[in-house]
């Protein structure tokens, strides 16, 4: 493998990417950032409306886009996602495993088997299925990038116990897969977001601005993250600028986990 002669570029011109969970939140932010950097992007998810909206935004940036309704917990649907993307956009250079659910909920012992299966399948099994479906092609071509969206919940136990277990496993998967893929020129990294204003976190925090302002007081940089904060890190990892980084899960949390970690806040109690 050649040694870069200069600083790598952030350009993704000529690249093809898949972003799961790409219709809203962090996934949408990543898909649009990739398109702005020159990539053609396939976005997948279960809700057609948000996917089509994101695809139109990508096309408005002058890039090709696909909106493919996919349940990434099911192998047949993942295989269809990969096959359609390859056929209509070309060889897949970048995979972002962003699909997720269950950021909070009952504790492990208060939960049940159905809840366990739902969270583990969406947050962990989906990553395995997508990596498995895309990985062989990347190995054959001798290049590629996989980025797994994890969570600080997978590093520091918080309110979403099963979610944290799934995300901790994603971190381990990232390190393990890196060892398999590195000899073939494929990099595998992860991003562990902190508090980011998405639909999933809004479910816990609510829509009241005072709740978000309160949450910000627990964060060293004094603000809640936005999807673009994660998208810029994903763009860096997907680009040649990060060509010597693999097997890492980068925590992007504005310092939240650097000091006294407050993983969950009972807003109803706090606001009473």
The DSSP secondary-structure symbol of 74 reads: S
> Residue 102: which pLDDT band, with cuts at 50, 70 and 90?
confident
In the three-class reduction of DSSP (H, G, I as helix; E, B as strand; rest coil), residue 17 is classed as strand
Neighbours of 263 (CB within 10 A): 18
Residue 158's pLDDT is: 65
Instruction: Report, as an integer, the average pLDDT of 243-247.
Output: 97
Per the prediction, the chain carries an average pLDDT of 90
- Closest of 147, 232, 153 to residue 191, by C-alpha: 147
Instruction: Report, as an integer, the average pLDDT of 205-232.
Output: 86
Give the whole-angstrom CA distance, residue 101 versus residue 53: 21
In the three-class reduction of DSSP (H, G, I as helix; E, B as strand; rest coil), residue 229 is classed as helix
pLDDT of 240 higher than 90: yes
pLDDT of 271 higher than 70: no
- The residue among 30 and 215 whose pLDDT is bigger is 30
Cβ within 8 Å of residue 36, ≥6 positions away: 61
Instruction: Report, as an integer, the average pLDDT of 121-139.
Output: 97
Residue 100's pLDDT is: 93
pLDDT of 41 higher than 60: yes
Residue 215's pLDDT is: 81
20: left (phi over 0), alpha (psi -120 to 50) or beta: beta
Please give the positions annotated as active site. 163
- The residue among 217 and 193 whose pLDDT is bigger is 193
Give the whole-angstrom CA distance, residue 93 versus residue 147: 11
Residue 241's pLDDT is: 96
- The residue among 112 and 87 whose pLDDT is bigger is 87
pLDDT of 74 higher than 70: yes
Give the whole-angstrom CA distance, residue 132 versus residue 76: 12
For the ranges 144-153, 224-233, 255-264, the lowest mean pLDDT is seen at 255-264
pLDDT digits (tens, 9 = 90+) for 4-39: 656 779 999 999 999 999 999 999 999 999 999 999
Give the whole-angstrom CA distance, residue 251 versus residue 220: 14
Domains in the chain with CATH codes: 16-255+264-271 (3.40.50.720)
Q: Are 271 and 229 in contact (CB under 8 A)?
A: no
pLDDT digits (tens, 9 = 90+) for 150-180: 999 898 876 568 999 999 999 999 999 999 9
21: left (phi over 0), alpha (psi -120 to 50) or beta: left
pTM score: 0.91
Residue 52's pLDDT is: 98
pLDDT of 264 higher than 70: no
Tokens 């200069």 -> residue: 6
Q: Percent of the chain beyond pLDDT 90?
A: 71
For the ranges 18-27, 114-123, 259-268, the lowest mean pLDDT is seen at 259-268
Residue 5's pLDDT is: 58
In the three-class reduction of DSSP (H, G, I as helix; E, B as strand; rest coil), residue 225 is classed as strand
Instruction: Write the DSSP assignment of 19-64 as a string of letters.
Output: EETTTSHHHHHHHHHHHHTT-EEEEEES-HHHHHHHHHHHHHTT--
Enclosing H/E stretch for 252: strand 249-252
């Amino acid at each position: 493998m050649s040694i870069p002669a200069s600083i790598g570029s952030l350009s993704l011109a000529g690249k093809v990417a898949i972003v799961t969970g790409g219709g809203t939140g962090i996934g949408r932010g990543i898909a649009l950032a990739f398109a702005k950097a020159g990539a053609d992007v396939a976005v997948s998810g279960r809700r057609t409306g948000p996917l089509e909206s994101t695809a139109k935004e990508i096309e408005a940036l002058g890039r090709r886009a696909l909106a493919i309704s996919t349940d990434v917990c099911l192998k047949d649907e993942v295989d269809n996602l990969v096959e359609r993307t390859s056929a209509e956009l070309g060889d897949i250079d970048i995979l972002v495993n962003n699909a997720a659910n269950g950021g909070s909920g009952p504790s492990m012992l208060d939960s049940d088997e159905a809840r366990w299966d739902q969270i583990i399948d969406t947050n962990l099994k989906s990553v395995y299925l997508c990596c498995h479906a895309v990985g062989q092609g990347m190995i054959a071509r001798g290049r590629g990038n996989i980025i797994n969206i994890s969570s600080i919940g997978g590093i520091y136990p918080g309110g979403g116990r099963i979610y944290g277990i799934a995300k901790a496993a994603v971190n381990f998967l990232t390190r393990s897969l890196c060892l398999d893929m590195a000899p073939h020129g494929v990099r595998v990294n992860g991003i562990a977001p902190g508090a980011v204003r998405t639909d999933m976190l809004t479910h816990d925090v609510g829509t009241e601005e005072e709740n978000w302002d309160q949450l910000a007081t627990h964060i060293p940089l004094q603000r809640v993250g936005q999807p673009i904060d994660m998208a810029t890190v994903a763009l860096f990892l997907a680009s040649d600028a990060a060509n010597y980084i693999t097997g890492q899960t980068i925590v992007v949390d504005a310092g939240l986990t650097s000091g006294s970690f407050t993983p969950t806040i009972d807003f109803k109690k706090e606001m009473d």
